[in-house]
Amino acid sequence: MKKQFNRMRQLANQTVGRAEKTEVLSDDLLQIERRMELVRSVSHNAHKRLVSYLQGQLGTDTEKRHKKLPLTALSQAMQDGGSQLGDESLIGKMMDVCGETENRLASELMQHEVQIERDIIEPLNQLAEVDIPNILKQRKQLAKLVLDYDSAKARWYQATKSNNQAMAAKVDCLKDEMDEALNKVEICKDQLSADMYNFASKEGDYARYYVMTHGWKSRRLGQPWRST
């Protein structure tokens, strides 16, 4: 409770300019942070649209997925119609043949959508809903630790300038508190920096998801495509 109060007081003093704010992240890391937030937003939107584009039900096993496809329902309707008309009917024969063809197309579509889910949709969801939020959560934790450090440093500095004996007696204790707070800041900053630079190094991998999406749509439209 006391630590939370000190954070709030320090934040209020920094907001109105009565206290200095320690900056622990470099300009490069601040730029990566802003880009991460944008990547999270666009990846979330892309994931949402891709899911809505699928004809099968996301996350189900292949058999259930196949049964839920509109092509499967069309195939069943044609084959039922062909059975009712019988082999002696030309229409019945054609309906049966077309029903089998639609069923094969449904199987191919199902397999293709399973691959899209595995190679594009799931990785995008992991990026937008797990990986980036975890790093941003670390960033918030670092901000809290920096507030703790700034608060401890301000209280230590006040104690060193005070003529009050009771306050002066706390200098060593406040110095230890400040050093401990700084150590926590450094540990968190080092881990956060490593994770943020790791994210930046993988942007090419993340971009490949969208290249694969382009290839998927091209094949759906019957257009040739080449991956870069």
- Helix 171-201 with 132-161: angle, nearest 10 deg: 160
Q: Is residue 32 part of a domain?
A: yes
Q: Tell me the CA distances in angstroms from 90 to 83, 86, 97, 102, one per residue in order.
A: 12, 9, 11, 18
- Position 16 scores a pLDDT of 45
Q: Which two tokens stand for residue 193?
A: 């920096």
pLDDT, one tens digit per residue, over 175-216 is 899 999 999 999 999 999 999 999 999 999 998 888 877 665
pLDDT at 223 over 50: no
**Residue 160 belongs to domain with CATH number:** 1.20.1270
| Domain assignment present for 228 | no
In a domain? residue 174: yes
CA–CA separation, 2 and 171 (whole Å): 18
Residue 226 placed within a domain = no
Q: What is the pLDDT of residue 215?
A: 60
Return the structure tokens found at 176.
Answer: 């230890």
In the chain, the number of structural domains is 1
User: Within a domain: residue 7?
Assistant: yes
Distance, CA of 144 to CA of 137 (rounded, Å): 11
Predicted confidence at residue 5, as pLDDT, reads 53
3-7, 36-40, 44-48, 165-169: the lowest-pLDDT one: 3-7
Q: Are 175 and 157 in contact (CB under 8 A)?
A: no
227 within a domain of the structure (yes/no): no
Q: How far apart are CA 103 and CA 95, in angstroms?
A: 12
- State how far the alpha carbon of 128 is from the alpha carbons of 36, 39, 135, 199, in Å: 9, 8, 11, 12
The residue ranking higher by pLDDT, 3 or 211, is: 211
Q: Is the separation of the CB atoms in 161 and 168 below 8 Å?
A: no
pLDDT of residue 87: 81
Q: What is the pLDDT of residues 36-72, one digit of tens each?
A: 999 999 999 999 988 888 887 777 778 888 888 888 9
Structure tokens at 142: 């670092």
Domain housing 50: 1-221
In a domain, 186, yes or no: yes
In 3D space, the residue among 167, 141, 137, 126 whose CA is nearest the CA of residue 43 turns out to be 126
pLDDT of residue 221: 47
The string of pLDDT tens digits covering residues 104-152 is 999 988 888 888 888 899 999 999 999 999 999 999 999 999 989 988 8
What are the tokens at 115?
A: 């691959």
Pull the structure tokens for residue 64.
Answer: 């259930």
Q: What is the mean pLDDT of residues 159-182?
A: 81
